[in-house]
């Protein structure tokens, strides 16, 4: 089974509950669409857990982007801005030994994705933290690691092309599903449930950030379960 979740934001307990809930095994693959860190209490623990799992694939979110740009000193402001919640993550990072710090940075720079294509059955899934890229093929952070600020707009969904541009795409023959996080669904619908929008050009968009960043008692960590045939079998929620 293929599973997709996003925006864990240091809520390690919810992540572990989700793995138990879905019965995650070595035969499954889990895609984590970024924003693993910040705001919650266990950001570095979350990163180290993901780094140790061969069948978990992580994407670069805007919070990991802020971490990297802070450490390389190209942006020393955004990560520590109040609502972004990077300060606690930074101090937890400093508590790690030098080798572990280097492993974390190397993982974020070289092993995370920006965009992933999945062709399942007669469907195409395009996964990212946010933003819209329709060209076929995977895009890795390492493709842009010498110019991290150059991908800021895409990672933050601040400019075209973003999800508002999906309706302007030319009609596609193959059903194409964008899956992303970043935008808390409550801001769209007022509800903490996966948001789905279907377009007449044969595209659809699943927003799976259901507000886990809001902390204990608020929001959910959501997870899509997709079969090899491309059909979404279930949506799981953990609070």
Tell me the C-alpha distance between 8 and 40, whole Å: 8
Per-residue pLDDT at 164 = 80
Task: Tell me if 204 sits within 8 A of 178, measured CB to CB.
Answer: yes
Residue from 155, 133, 130 nearest 144 by CA: 155
Beta partners for residue 224, in sequence order = 4, 235
DSSP assignment of 60-118: --HHHHHHHHHHTTS-SSGGGSGGG-HHHHHHHHHTS-HHHHHHHHHHHHHT-EEEEEE
Contact 86, 76 (CB under 8 A): no
How much is the pLDDT for 160?
56
Q: Which helix (H) or strand (E) holds 115?
A: strand 113-120
Q: Angle CA(93)–CA(98)–CA(54) in degrees, nearest 5?
A: 75
Q: Give all domains of the chain, ordered by start, each with its CATH number.
A: 2-238 (3.60.21.10)
For residue 112, the model assigns a pLDDT of: 98
pLDDT of amino acid 161: 56
The Cα–Cα gap between 219 and 208 comes to 11
**DSSP bridge partners of 102:** none
**CA atoms of 98 and 102, how far apart (whole Å):** 6
pLDDT beneath 70, residues of the chain: 158-161
Tokens linked to 198? 């279907």
Contact of 117 with 124, CB cutoff 8 Å: yes
Q: From the CB of residue 72, how many other CB atoms can be counted at a distance below 10 Å?
A: 14
Q: How far, in Å, CA of 180 to CA of 197, rounded?
A: 12
């Amino acid at each position: 089974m293929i599973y997709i979740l996003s925006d864990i934001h240091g809520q390690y307990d919810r992540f572990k509950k989700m793995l138990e809930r879905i019965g995650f095994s070595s035969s499954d693959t889990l895609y984590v669409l970024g924003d693993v860190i910040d705001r919650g209490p266990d950001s570095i623990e979350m990163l180290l857990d993901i780094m140790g799992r061969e069948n978990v694939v992580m994407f670069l979110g805007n919070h990991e982007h802020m971490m990297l740009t802070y450490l390389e000193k190209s942006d020393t402001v955004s990560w520590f801005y109040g609502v972004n919640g990077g300060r606690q993550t930074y101090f937890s990072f400093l508590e790690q030994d030098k080798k572990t710090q280097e492993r974390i940075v190397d993982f974020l720079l070289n092993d995370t994705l920006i965009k992933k294509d999945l062709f399942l059955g007669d469907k195409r899934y395009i996964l990212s933290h946010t933003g819209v890229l329709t060209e076929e093929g995977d895009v890795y952070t390492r493709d842009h690691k010498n110019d991290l600020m150059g991908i800021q707009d895409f990672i933050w969904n601040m400019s075209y092309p973003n999800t508002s541009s999906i309706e302007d795409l030319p009609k596609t023959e193959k059903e194409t599903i964008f899956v992303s996080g970043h935008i808390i669904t409550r801001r769209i619908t007022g509800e903490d449930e996966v948001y789905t929008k279907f377009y007449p050009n044969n595209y659809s968009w699943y927003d799976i950030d259901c507000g886990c960043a809001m902390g204990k008692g608020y929001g959910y960590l959501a997870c899509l379960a997709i079969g090899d045939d491309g059909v979404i079998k279930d949506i799981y929620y953990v609070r």
